[in-house]
Chains A and B, each alone.
Chain A
Amino acid sequence: MNSDPRDKPNKPEFDPDLAAVRSAWEGLEQTEPPDLIDQAVLNTARRHLERPRRPLRWLGAFASAIVVVLALAIVVRQDQQGPVPPVPDSDGFRMDRDTPVPAKTKQEYEQMMQDEPRKARPELRQIAPAAASEAQPMQGKETQLRPLDAVEEDAAGPDPEAWIERMLALRAAGRLEELEAELADFRRSWPDYPLPPELLD
C-alpha cells in the first residue's frame, strides 16, 4: 500500500533552517506500517460498519418511566375522587356490592311485618341501616317514622317486667277492667312468662 503523494509537503520554506532540515528529512526512509497492521485496521473499520447499531437503550428506560408515571397519575386521581358512592334504587334501598340483592320488594317486607313480625326481623336488619340513613334528614320534621327497636317492641309487645309493673299499678289503683284487658294481652304476647301471684288472683 502506498502513501498519498500529497502527504509530502512541497511548499517552499521561508525559514532556511527549516528548509535544510526538511531536505534532510525527505532523505529518511519512508517507513510504512506493516501489512498485518494495515489489514487489522481495515478489518476493524469493516467490522464496525457491519455491526448492527445498538438498540436505543434509553428508549426502554423511557417507556418504563412513562408507564410508572401514568400508573401513579391514575392512582392519585382515584384517591382525589374518593370511594364510589352507593347507588340507591328507586325505593331508597341501598344496593351494596357485597350484599346479595334481596329477592323481596319493600311491599313484600311490609306484608311480612304484618303477618309474621319476628320472621321478618333478620332481613330487616340488613336493609334497616340504609333505610335509617335515608330517613335521617327527615328527623327534624314531625313524621311517623320510628326507630327499628320501637317497631320490634311493638311486634313483640312491651317489656314483660314493665308490663307486669304497669298491671300491678292498675290492680293497686282498682282499675280491674283495664287490668283484665292488659292481662289478656299479656297472655297472648307472653304465654309462658311467669306472673306474680297478685295477678293470678
Chain B
Amino acid sequence: MRERSDEALMQAYAGGDMAAFDCLYARHRGPLYRYILRQAGDDATANDLYQGSWEKIIRARASYTASAPFKAWMYRIAHNHVVDHFRRSRPSSDLSPETMRADDPGPEQALIGEQAACRLAAAVSALPTEQREVLLLKLEAGFDLRTIAEITGVSHETAKSRLRYAVGKLKIAVGSEQDGAES
C-alpha cells in the first residue's frame, strides 16, 4: 500500500483522524527530538522543548495548509520554540554565532576521550548555536540549504556559511578521532 504523505496525514489529523497523527508522530519523533536535544544540552530541557513544540504543532493544525511542506513547517515551529526559550532564559545574550558559542560543557562533553561518538557529540555541543542548528537541520532532518534558510529565517548564503563553518570544525574532531583510531 502506498505510504501517505506527511501533508495528507496532517490534514487527516486536522480533520479528526487520530490514527493519522500516530503515524505522523512515529515518522518524525526521533529526528525532531535529537534536533532539540543537541541544542538544549540536557534531557530535562530537551523534553520540555520537545513536548512544547509538538503542542504548538497540534494547536496550529487548523492553520496548516497542504501547500506547505509539513516537515519544514514542523521544524520552523520547533525552531521558533527553542529560540524563544533561550531568549527567555538568557535574555541578555546575543544570538549571533560568534557570541552564542556554547562554552559550558554539556553532559556529553564529559565523555570526550572515552568514545569517538561522544567526542563528535561534544564537538557538536561546542559549536555556536546557529552553526549547530544548521548542522542539525542538515544531518538530522536532511533539509537542503534553501529549506534550512527558510526555517531559520536567514539568507541562503548565511545558512551555507554557517554549515561550512560547522562542518569544518567537526571535520577536525572526526579527523582526530580517525587519527586516534589509526594510532
Q: How far is the CB of B71 from chain A (nearest CB, A)?
A: 9
- In the complex, the answer to whether B174 meets A49 with C-beta atoms within 8 Å is no
- In the complex, the answer to whether B58 meets A45 with C-beta atoms within 8 Å is yes
Given the known interface contacts A21-B170, A42-B22, A45-B21, the answer about A3 and B121 at a Cβ–Cβ threshold of 8 Å is no
Flag whether A131 is at the interface (Cβ < 8 A). Answer: no
Stretch from B24-32, B82-90, B91-99, B146-154 that touches the partner: B24-32
Flag whether A61 is at the interface (Cβ < 8 A). Answer: no
A29 / chain B contacts, CB cutoff of 8 Å: 117
Give the total number of A-B pairs whose CB atoms are below 8 A apart: 104
A17 / chain B contacts, CB cutoff of 8 Å: 167-168, 171
Flag whether B7 is at the interface (Cβ < 8 A). Answer: no
A145 / chain B contacts, CB cutoff of 8 Å: none
Stretch from A32-40, A90-98, A171-179 that touches the partner: A32-40
Q: How far is the CB of A201 from chain B (nearest CB, A)?
A: 117
Flag whether A24 is at the interface (Cβ < 8 A). Answer: yes
Given the known interface contacts A20-B171, A21-B167, the answer about A30 and B34 at a Cβ–Cβ threshold of 8 Å is yes
Band of interface residues on B: 35 or more
- In the complex, the answer to whether A40 meets B27 with C-beta atoms within 8 Å is no
Flag whether A75 is at the interface (Cβ < 8 A). Answer: no
Band of interface residues on A: 35 or more
Flag whether A6 is at the interface (Cβ < 8 A). Answer: yes
Flag whether A9 is at the interface (Cβ < 8 A). Answer: yes
- In the complex, the answer to whether B47 meets A34 with C-beta atoms within 8 Å is yes
- In the complex, the answer to whether B139 meets A4 with C-beta atoms within 8 Å is no
| Chain A contact residues, majority secondary structure | helix
B171 / chain A contacts, CB cutoff of 8 Å: 17, 20-21
Q: Please, how many angstroms separate the alpha-carbon atoms of A27 and B139 in the complex? A: 12
- In the complex, the answer to whether A1 meets B29 with C-beta atoms within 8 Å is yes
B26 (CB) vs chain A CBs: closest residue: A1
B177 / chain A contacts, CB cutoff of 8 Å: 24
- In the complex, the answer to whether B18 meets A27 with C-beta atoms within 8 Å is no
Flag whether B157 is at the interface (Cβ < 8 A). Answer: no
Flag whether A138 is at the interface (Cβ < 8 A). Answer: no
Q: Which residues of A contact B (CB under 8 A)?
A: 1-4, 6-9, 11, 15, 17-18, 20-22, 24-25, 27-34, 37-38, 40-42, 44-46, 48-49
